């Protein structure tokens, strides 16, 4: 029961992910999306889009695990806007501290499992991490393309930076990359994204 | 590209799950939880609690898929409070209509996959569906136990109904059942749940 109590304590603590808000907005009412919603959306995309990933043998369960856990570290570290140069300088350090604190609530073996999964996602070396990263880039792009470029209009964002941010798709999911580029061009044409 | 466009249309449409609100509230600020957050929380629990399920060989990926997709049908059917007798009379019919409409956005093979997964979850005959159902019962109970029985104080809810709602845990996850019963007794003692 001590082991179960640790697991429950963790499950209760991560309820806080529902109050970590991102820069992106939900399509219908344009309120900020939170990390729990974003993580769910990525996991749903993982179930549907694997066929477009360059390695069809990618371990789907492992990638789904990454989409589910990848933003947990933001519970104490907060969300850092991907185009915020200043905030990104100490992002990794803040997130490592957060991961240590959060995952240590769990029994040792599960602490290690989550730590390893998160590290693998961050390093983006394995196929499973690359697939999860592709989805993590593409989901905000879909929201932006449906909300007249909500976060693309923020200071410091332009076409080149969005392309740079998404370029993992070019090498690992050519169909998705083609789609993404068409949406970026479309947004520039409509004035939702600076050239 | 036509196939990808259908998948994207679906991914965009299900953004609406973020605005389907449940009776339960998020622990920290006591606002209503939405279905996307709830689904994410269940999938996270699936990753951590499988060892407490009676069949340790349950297919984790399949159960996780169910936790991710199980409430999609509420996009058009709305959330029905589990203790609302009137609303539950036509719940299944409303959800079947909703599933038909929503899943048909996808390519045929994926429409079938989601339909089959959802049906399997609803019928709760397989081990994977039973595990997902255990989590779907336990998660609101955890939120209630952390929010002085927020939904347990609503009309028509009492100890017996909560026990009845959770009894799938008794037969399939004895450790979790023991924990759940202790929380129910605790809530009655504190006056957060009627005897």
Task: Quote the pLDDT of residue B27.
Answer: 98
**pLDDT < 70 positions in chain B:** none
Residue spans of the domains in chain A: they are 2-190
SS3 state of residue B11: helix
Q: Select the residue of A4, A28, A47 nearest B65 (Cβ to Cβ).
A: A47
CA distance B3 to A188: 25
Pairing mode, strands B32-34 and B21-25: antiparallel
Q: Is the pLDDT of residue A56 over 90?
A: no
| Structure ipTM | 0.97
State whether residue A87 is helix, strand or coil.
helix
For residue A100, the model assigns a pLDDT of: 97
The half-sphere exposure of A9 on its side-chain side, counting CA atoms within 13 A, is 14
Mean pLDDT of all residues belonging to chain B? 97
Chain B CB contacts of A8 under 8 Å are 142, 179
Tokens standing for residue A131:
């697939």
Q: Is the pTM value of this prediction over 0.90?
A: yes
The answer to whether the beta carbons of residues A136 and A168 sit under 8 Å apart is: no
Residue entry with tokens 């079938």: B112
Place of tokens 């990808």: B4
Alpha carbon of residue B4 to chain centroid: 29
Please say whether the dihedral angle defined by the alpha carbons of residues B82, B69, A35 and A27, taken in this order, is positive or negative: negative
A18 touches chain B (CB under 8 A): yes
| C-alpha–C-alpha distance, residues B114 and B116, integer Å | 5
Q: Rounded mean pLDDT of chain A?
A: 97
Whether the CB-CB separation of A26 and A37 falls below 8 Å is answered with: yes
Digit-coded pLDDT (tens) for A62-101:
999 999 999 999 999 999 999 888 888 899 999 999 999 9
Is B1's Cβ below 8 Å from some Cβ in A? yes
Measure in Å the smallest separation between the Cα of B159 and chain A Cα atoms: 22
Check if A2 contacts B (Cβ < 8 Å): no
Q: With an 8 Å Cβ cutoff, is B110 touching chain A?
A: yes
CATH number for B2-190: choose from 1.10.3210.10, 3.40.50.1240, 1.10.10.10, 1.10.3370.10. Answer: 1.10.3210.10
Return the C-alpha torsion angle B147, B152, B155, B158, nearest 10: -150
Question: Which of the 8 DSSP states describes residue B115?
Answer: H
pLDDT tens for A124-179 read: 999 999 999 999 999 999 999 999 999 999 999 999 999 999 999 999 999 999 99
């Amino acid at each position: 029961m001590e082991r179960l109590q640790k697991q429950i304590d963790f499950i209760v603590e991560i309820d806080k992910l529902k109050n970590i808000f991102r820069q992106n907005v939900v399509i219908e009412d344009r309120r900020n999306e939170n990390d729990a919603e974003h993580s769910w959306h990525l996991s749903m995309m993982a179930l549907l889009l694997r066929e477009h990933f360059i390695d069809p043998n990618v371990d789907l369960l492992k990638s789904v695990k990454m989409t589910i856990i990848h933003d947990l570290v933001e519970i104490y570290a907060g969300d850092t806007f991907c185009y915020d140069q200043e905030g990104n300088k100490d992002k990794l350090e803040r997130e490592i501290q957060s991961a240590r604190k959060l995952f240590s609530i769990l029994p040792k073996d599960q602490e290690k499992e989550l730590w390893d999964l998160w590290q693998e996602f961050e390093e983006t070396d394995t196929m499973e991490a690359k697939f999860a990263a592709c989805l993590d880039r593409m989901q905000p792009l879909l929201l932006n393309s449906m909300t007249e470029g909500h976060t693309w209009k923020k200071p410091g964002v332009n076409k080149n930076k969005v392309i740079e941010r998404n370029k993992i798709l070019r090498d690992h999911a050519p169909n998705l990359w083609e789609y993404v580029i068409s949406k970026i061009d479309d947004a520039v044409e409509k004035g939702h994204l600076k050239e």
